[in-house]
Amino acid sequence: MNPNPIPDPDQTEIREGDILFDCPHCGKNMAIEAAGAGLMVPCAACGKEVQVPIPDAATPEVPVAAVPRPPLDNGESPEETIRQLDAALAMANEQIDRLIAEKESLQERRAYLEQIRMANTARYEQIAAELATLQDALDRALVLLAEARAEKPA
């Protein structure tokens, strides 16, 4: 899920569904698979952190398949079949609306969690630097202690 700069269309394969965006720092074009929406990623050109945009939920990701027309030889009138199809379509539209709302909520949650992850990563790097400083101080103290022990009269 690495972002790819798009310097030359012959060098980068962009697939349907990929998110295309520009680095706000250097302006390079980037592409990432849809699963990367909301993530913080380093720009492949300048190395600075960039948040992958979350695509508009109104944009369909998968083409809608055509609904096959039911046979009318089941004894129902065409009007009854149309009524049933209308009811099924209304239910499907309600389900789509619920799924879109759930998807938006999950994308917002993912973006929030990614921000927390990035903040924690920075904190852990800071802690590691502090621990390295402490280790250096301990190493110097051990050297001084060893020197002090070596200078003791026996």
Q: Which residues contact 46 (CB under 8 A, 6 or more apart)?
A: 23, 25, 26, 28
Rounded percentage of the chain residues whose pLDDT exceeds 70? 77
pLDDT at 131: 97
Task: Judge contact between 71 and 83, C-beta under 8 A.
Answer: no
Task: Judge contact between 43 and 28, C-beta under 8 A.
Answer: yes
Higher pLDDT, 5 or 108: 108
Long-range contacts from 59-62, C-beta under 8 angstroms, 24+ separation: 61/17, 61/34
As a whole number, mean pLDDT of residues 109-132 equals: 95
Q: In angstroms, rounded to a whole number, what is the distance separating the alpha carbons of residues 17 and 31?
A: 10
User: What are the pLDDT digits (tens) for 16-59?
Assistant: 888 888 999 999 999 888 888 888 889 989 999 998 888 875 54
- Can you name the residues that pair with 32 across neighbouring β-strands? 19
